[in-house]
Amino acid sequence: MSGLAETFERTRAEGRAALIGYLPAGYPSYAGCVEALVAMVEGGVDIVEVGLPYSDPLMDGPTIQHAAEAALAAGVTTREVLKTVEAVAATGAATLVMSYWNPIERFGVGAFADAMAAAGGAGVITPDLTPDEAGPWLDAVAAAGIDPVFLVAPSSTQERIRRVADVTRGFVYVASTMGVTGVRAQVSDRAEALVARVRPLTDLPLAVGLGVSTGAQAAEVAAYADGVIVGSAFVRLLIDAADQAAGVEAVRGLAAELAAGVRAATTS
């Protein structure tokens, strides 16, 4: 059983959704990112997504773009991303990379999958890779023993959702809006409807991302999803912090608030 499957099995047994936190590697520094991700886990995050900074991030909003650009300007490399995975996976939390396809292809498809497995990674989210074009990648992750995670969106047809469900392992990433990532005043009401469309087509856990930033929003999503994904809200805390240490503590505090939110959904 994969690390993701074990985590969702545990949270399901606890009667709650899993909390998934994201930060781009290398921001505010290599060490600062590792400290913040470990603080996330200590605050209650169950699964960690490490972003691989990329120069053409089609899905990322201005907050994550700002952090990724800073990391790239500071010289973050794919090797450092993998070192970040190794450091965070050592906490025991299931750890993924979220990466656009181009950096993986440049690194080498099989080499990247093998390196992720060697680092203790649980899987890889590839937001711009479609299942129809993923043959070599699916072979590589199967050989490496890590989970490929694909996305569905409100625009996805039932046929596309079924295809994504067929090739995905670990969980299906349910993008709650058609827009880019970013904090929102309220979670899109399309998210619950999309989860309802996906449920009959797979037994995999469904994790909702794009927009969650508060404990109350986390509770709202946790009432109908198996996982709650939070990214931009964590990144914004690091951007706005007076210094790196303050940013790490702010991330820890938000993780605790969100963790309380996903647990509140099971008792309300």
pLDDT tens, position by position, 4-17: 999 999 999 999 99
Beta bridge partners, 20, equal 47, 229
Question: What are residue 148's phi and psi, to 5 degrees?
Answer: -90, 130
**Stated pTM of the model:** 0.94
Annotation marks residue 133 as catalytic: no
Q: Is 105 a catalytic residue?
A: no
**Spatial separation of the C-alpha atoms in residues 13 and 8, rounded to whole Å:** 8
What percent of the chain stands above pLDDT 90? 87
232 vs 113: CA distance, rounded Å:
26
Chain CA centroid to CA 57, Å: 15
Catalytic residue among 35, 46, 49, 226: 49
Mean pLDDT of 217-224: 95
Q: Which of 9, 14, 56, 60 is catalytic?
A: 60
Return the sign of the alpha-carbon dihedral for residues 253, 254, 259, 264.
positive
- Cα dist from 8 to 2, 18, 22, 225, whole Å: 10, 7, 17, 11
**CA dist., res. 242 & res. 34, Å (int):** 18
Res. 190 pLDDT band, cuts 50 70 90: confident
Instruction: Work out the pLDDT band at 181, boundaries 50, 70, 90.
Output: very low
Q: Above 60 in pLDDT, residue 268?
A: no
Q: How many CB atoms lie within 10 A of CB 100?
A: 21
For helices 215-222 and 244-264, give the axis angle rounded to 10 degrees.
40
Give how far the C-alpha of residue 10 lies from the chain's centroid of Cα atoms, to the nearest Å: 18
pLDDT, average across residues 91-99: 98
Mean pLDDT of 172-185: 62
Helix or strand (DSSP H, E) at 192 = helix 190-198
CA atoms within 13 A on the CB side of 158: 6
Task: Report the alpha-carbon distance of residue 172 to residue 195 in Å, rounded.
Answer: 10
182 pLDDT tier (thresholds 50, 70, 90): very low
Give the model's pLDDT for residue 265.
85
**CATH 3.40.630.30 for the 3-264 domain, yes or no:** no
Contacts of 179 (CB under 8 A, 6+ apart): 61, 210
List CB contacts of 50: < 8 A, sequence separation 6 or more. Answer: 22, 23, 24, 25, 37, 81, 84, 85, 88, 95, 96, 97, 98
